[in-house]
């Protein structure tokens, strides 16, 4: 019988890959099985300075609606030209520190708090075009 010996570097690599994978988050305030409806979109250019998402897009002022039901609770983000690094804590990432969003992958940001605290920066110094689509809970069914 062969013995498997895990080196610290291999374990670190596995742990890093696990931690860098976007995780599903649940918000006990909402029923996460409720239908989500896309309502807004934007394209942002991420460069060498930390960039946030546009508040007026993901949290629009709707005079006849409750602000907590009219704002985004989910966002799909896809960067199609260059990789970016992000934090959803409100902190500014750097070109080498932050969660790496690879080119062409779609990432889901869940929760208004994480959307409003999202910051991205180019991972390679080149401008990245990132497409963002926002969703909110809907009373409609699919």
- The pair of structure tokens assigned to 26 is 């649940």
DSSP 8-state symbol, 104: T
Q: Which helix (H) or strand (E) holds 113?
A: helix 112-116
Whether CATH 1.10.20 fits 24-137: no
Across the chain, mean pLDDT equals 81
Where do the DSSP E strands lie in the chain?
A: 36-46, 51-52, 74-79, 84-87, 99-101, 106-110, 119-122, 128-137
Residues 6+ apart with CB under 8 A from 5: none
Bigger pLDDT: 68 vs 95: 95
Is the pLDDT confidence value at 137 over 90?
no
Residue 142 has a pLDDT of 54
User: Quick one: which of 127, 128, 118 has its CA closest to 55?
Assistant: 118
Exposure string for 33-55, b = 16+ CB within 10 A, e = fewer: eeebeebbeeebebbeebbebee
R_g over Cα of the chain: 18
Residue 40 has a pLDDT of 96
Question: Which range among 24-33, 54-63, 115-124 shows the weakest confidence by mean pLDDT?
Answer: 24-33
Question: Which range among 23-27, 59-63, 71-75, 78-82 shows the weakest confidence by mean pLDDT?
Answer: 23-27
What average pLDDT does range 119-123 have in this prediction? 98
């Amino acid at each position: 019988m062969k013995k498997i010996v895990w080196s610290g570097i291999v374990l670190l690599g596995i742990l890093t890959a696990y931690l860098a994978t976007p995780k599903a988050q649940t918000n006990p305030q909402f029923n996460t099985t409720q239908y989500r409806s896309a309502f807004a979109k934007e394209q942002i250019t991420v460069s060498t300075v930390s960039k946030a998402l546009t508040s007026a897009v993901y949290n629009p002022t709707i005079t006849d609606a409750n602000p907590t039901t009219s704002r985004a609770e989910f966002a799909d983000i896809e960067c199609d030209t260059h990789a970016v690094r992000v934090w959803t804590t409100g902190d500014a990432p750097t070109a080498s520190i932050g969660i790496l969003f690879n080119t062409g992958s779609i990432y889901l940001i869940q929760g208004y708090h994480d959307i409003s605290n999202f910051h991205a920066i180019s991972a390679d110094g080149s401008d990245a075009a990132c497409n963002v689509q926002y969703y909110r809970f809907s009373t409609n069914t699919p």
